Amino acid sequence: MFTSTGSNGLYKAPLSKSLLLVPSAISILLTLLFQHYQKFFAYNIQAIKEDFQIWRLVCGRTVCLDLKDTFCSSLLIYNFRIFERRYGSRKFSSFLLGAWMFSALFDLLLVELAQYIFGFTINSLPSGFLGPVFALFVPFYCSIPRVQVTQVLGHFSITNKTLVYILGLQLLTSGSYIWILALSGLISGICYNSSILKVHQILCVPSWVAKIFSWTLEPIFSSAEPTNEIRVGMGATVDIQRQQRMELLDRQIMMSQVAQMRRQRQQQGGMINWNRLFPPLRHRHNANYQDHRPSDQETPPPTEVSEEQVARLMEMGFSRGDALEALRASNNDLNVATNFLLQH
């Protein structure tokens, strides 16, 4: 399972935590105490087009006025926090910024298109940070592996992604015109992730802005590192739990061995030979591996590394050399390589 539980589930995801707490708190306050201020957060399309109230794009597309939408979108943001951990807060915020801007444009275009084709006028749309949330389904579908957990009636597979899709469907059916926000969000996610349009190279958060927010807001919304028990999580079956613990053991072995090699390098100088240090991870599942460690002459040739995965690691701020060696050491497992580089 790619999600984790516990109070420290937002470790290394300060932006996700802020998106969970701040808009949700404002939404609850507007619903319970300050109903007379809700009109300022209404996503009024007519006022934007006719009266040029551009500020409504910011207010109306940030805070949900429906608590059901707040609850569903908060759960989705919590599940999508894995992207902030994987790509880093700056790249994650760049994606959200690009998706927010594109979805605002597509909202207006789809409203005009619906009026032209179906002949009805749409004066307002559901409020909230919904466009970027729906846009996150694009990398979720493309980059998160699908792992079957169980089967229902012998034919219908339940995977680690099923609950997220159910939450998205629940959010999609919560309002009459929310399909416009969902469609514009999905189109925005596709455009931002497109390798042809290169939008991610244009719409990105500047490094100096990211540094300012890391100095000011990250200490407020940062979470403590979870313990090993919390990080392992509880799989739905005994096999999944066993596999999770084996993967955790692999990471612990890698980190302890590299820490030892780093100390030796500081004393003697030189580079770490990652390929000698980490044999293929599948050999660690053999209980007799320690008794049958291959010699230097039997070491296999270096693993071919995907340039796309190298580019992803470099976008997170790692050097090309570290990215290459980490991917070779982890047998091209991007998640293991990323976790290792983040820890060291």
Q: pLDDT, tens digit, for every residue of 262-307?
A: 566 556 554 444 444 444 444 444 444 444 444 444 445 556 777 8
The count of C-alpha atoms lying within 13 angstroms of the C-alpha of 151, restricted to the half-sphere facing its C-beta, is 4
Q: What is the mean pLDDT of the chain?
A: 77
pLDDT band at 156 (very low <50, low <70, confident <90, very high): confident
71 contacts: CB under 8 Å, gap ≥ 6: none
Average the pLDDT over 124-144 and give the result.
Answer: 91
Average the pLDDT over 6-27 and give the result.
Answer: 81
Residue 302 confidence (pLDDT): 57
Residue 110 confidence (pLDDT): 92
Most confident of 127-136, 254-263, 310-319: 127-136
Residue 166 confidence (pLDDT): 92
Of residues 187 and 50, more confidently modeled? 187
**Residue pLDDT, tens place only, 61-78:** 899 988 999 999 999 999
The Cα 341–Cα 272 span in angstroms is 14
The Cα 20–Cα 13 span in angstroms is 11
**Residue pLDDT, tens place only, 221-253:** 877 766 544 444 444 455 555 555 555 655 555
The Cα 133–Cα 111 span in angstroms is 19
Is the dihedral angle over the CA atoms 208, 216, 58, 53 positive or is it negative? Answer: negative
Residue 138 confidence (pLDDT): 93
Looking at the DSSP bridge assignments, the partners of residue 243 are none
* Angle, CA of 329, 334 and 335, to the nearest 5°: 105
Burial 222-233 (b: 16+ CB within 10 A, else e): ebeebeeebbbb
Exposed/middle/buried for residue 166 (C-beta within 10 Å: 0-12, 13-18, 19+): exposed
pTM above 0.95, yes or no: no
CA 158 to chain centre: 21
Share of the chain above pLDDT 70, in %: 72
Of residues 143 and 180, more confidently modeled? 180
